[in-house]
Amino acid sequence: MKNTYGFVRVAAGVPRVRVADPEFNANEAIALARAADVAGAHLLVLPECALTGYTGNDLFQQRALLDAVCAALRRVCEQTADCNLLVIVGLPLASENQLFNCAAMLCHGEILGVVPKTFIPGYKEYYEQRWFTSAADALADTIVLNGSPVPFGADLLFRAEGNASFTVGVELCEDLWSPIPPSSMQALAGATILCNLSASNELVGKAEYRAQLVRQQSARCIAGYVYASAGVGESTTDVVFSGHAMIAENGIILAENPRFERDPVLLITDLDLGRLLHDRRTTTSFSTAAAEHAPSCRTIDFTLEQPRWHTPLRRPIPTHPFVPADSAERTQRCKEIFSIQTAALAKRLEHCQIQRVVLGVSGGLDSTLALLVAVHTFDLLRYARSGIYALSMPGFGTSERTRDNVRSLCKTLGVTLEELDIRPLCAQIFSDLKHSPEHHDVTYENVQARARTLLLLNRANQLGALQLGTGDLSELALGWCTYGGDHLAMYNINCGVPKTLVRYLVAWVADTHCDPQARQALTDILATPISPELLPPTPDGTIAQKTEEMIGPYELHDFFLYHTVRCGAPPRVIYLLATQAFQHQYPPSAILRWLRVFYTRFFANQFKRSCVPDGPKVGSVSLSPRGDWRMPSDASPATWLAELDELQRHS
């Protein structure tokens, strides 16, 4: 197989079907296999009993049909021999005077193995027990097909030669609905892609429940799950089928078709096996379960020469992985995070028996969010909002716009606003250090940041209050904070929130918790450029220092952060994903540039993350040294940067 960056392209197919017409059905299966091959798929899953139709009923016991289905299987093998993909097709097969509902695995015209269905339904509208035997009752572990013995049983796994991460397990329909599906055992035995050949009829509300099963099974098994169900060509004597197809990855449906389509369906997406293996390694309970419960399986190797896989990736790649694209889901996410933040702060205040907080407010997004959390927390605890001391500490770069927004917002929220000009204190420090105030270097900036923190901590002591930090997750990842300055706090309420999500949280609170006057101030804060305001404004009084012009766009850095920490992705994969996700916003050269900045800053600033204050985790990525992220402060980024150098040479 060619280098696919750890991705495997999979397809779920729903062919046209004529009940009890194997020759017609074979031709339809062949057509889908050829289409999947052209699309560069490595794997195609077809429905249960695709070569006969699932609704054959007593016709399954007719020798004419059983002979015809074997001939149809031979035809599918012959006509897909030049396809570089695995094809899994459903059909009834007889062996040792038993009849089984089976999935046959085909590759390059050869039958690799046959997996019979384990759980045979015999309730309500299902009557399979009249015809089929369970895999558990099979009398032999081989079956003769095309004149040769073929491995047979529910204990079969199929593994790509040279790529053990591409290992396939197979189950059929009812198997998924059982308390312990065979795919659970297959995953523990090493299968990363689980396939379900199904014939699930439609009932009101059943499709949603079916999707929940697929989503949950892929999550429990930390696997890809490819599901293909029988279509509208099945008999409608008593039930109707819709051709439901889904492909899931670790709890997320990546692709799903409209049901009741009359034309053939070919649903294709790329599964990220690298991410799945990363998640299995980091979720230690998975390996514990595998050690205790993994069954003994027969593994059959297969070889795919050079499938026509190519980029772009055929899977959704969110530009903002921390921010749901769906508005309803995004609203729910904001509500959940705000609830976590307020619950965390309420617990800390109650434990410390404190009814006052002190925080710096700059007119920027982060301090605004922290202020809104404090206000809502005080309301929940029935504390007076006047116990919230918002300190505005204008320095050499503070603009009138941000000062005015702070005054307006604090007034409408009913909190206590104090303005403490830090410039005299900073001037004294410059004098003591013999540092020219005209020299606008890192010392010039950090003196201001540390002066603000000094005032905040001491004012909190003076009031008997808890001092709140306001820095967010993205700033912590990049080290975009002053050590001993805004890096410090008694409690940091924003530490788990990435910058791309802060904006939506502030907007959500403005829409759901604020009166029109506060909403007006918040709207202008949302429109203000992100800046620490440590350098003097422009001559016309506007903000001169813009963070994203200096360290890069936060939407890129949050993308890099998510795929580095949450997914364990290497630079080449992150670059591939980013160039596709941001193809209309940034050229590849810019993505490489800012990815280098990300790695350089991420490694260089671990010492700041190693001693951050307490704060709540709100999502799947956290950089707390006490929680999710333990990294040496002196680790080298050489391996990551070398891979970027290689990408640079080939770009």
pLDDT tens-place string over residues 537-575: 888 777 777 888 899 999 999 999 999 999 999 999 999
Q: What is the pTM of this model?
A: 0.94
Beta bridge partners of 298: 156
pLDDT digits (tens, 9 = 90+) for 178-205: 999 999 999 999 999 999 999 999 999 9
Rg (CA), the chain: 30
Inter-residue contact 599 to 571 (CB < 8 Å) = yes
pLDDT tens column, 511-531: 999 989 899 999 999 998 887
Question: What is the mean pLDDT of the segment spanning 63-81?
Answer: 97
* Average pLDDT of every residue of the chain: 95
Backbone angles phi, psi at 223, to 5 degrees: -145, 170
Question: Which residue type, as a one-letter code, is found at position 354?
Answer: I
| Domain ranges, ordered by start, for the chain | 9-302, 327-650
Measured CA to CA in angstroms, residue 77 lies from 26, 116, 151, 420, 600 at distances of: 10, 19, 16, 80, 52
> Residue 204, Cβ neighbours under 10 Å: how many?
6
In CATH, what number does 9-302 get? 3.60.110.10
Q: Select which of 77, 102, 117, 567 is catalytic.
A: 117
End-to-end Cα spacing for the chain: 23
Dig out the tokens for 568 from the structure.
């364990």
Average pLDDT over residues 32-55: 97
CATH of domain 327-650: 3.40.50.620
User: How confident is the model over 22-36, as pLDDT tens digits?
Assistant: 999 999 999 999 999
Catalytic residue, candidates 49, 83, 107, 173: 173
| 173 counts as catalytic | yes
Taking the mean position of all CA atoms in its chain, how far away is CA 574?
13
SS3 248: strand
Q: Which of 48, 128, 171, 445 is catalytic?
A: 48
The verdict on whether 334 is a catalytic residue reads: no
Instruction: Report the distance separating Cα 215 and Cα 224, nearest Å.
Output: 10
pLDDT of the residue at 2: 66
Backbone dihedral angles phi then psi of residue 552, each to the nearest 5 degrees: 110, 165
pLDDT of 445 strictly over 60: yes
* Statement: residue 11 has pLDDT above 80: yes
Task: Give which of 448, 497, 442, 446 is closest to 469, Cα–Cα.
Answer: 497
Comparing CA positions, the residue from 371, 389, 396 lying closest to residue 446 is: 396
Tens digits of residue pLDDT in 467-488: 999 999 999 999 999 999 999 9
Helix residue ranges per DSSP H, 120-170: none
Compare 106 and 544 and report the one with higher pLDDT. 106
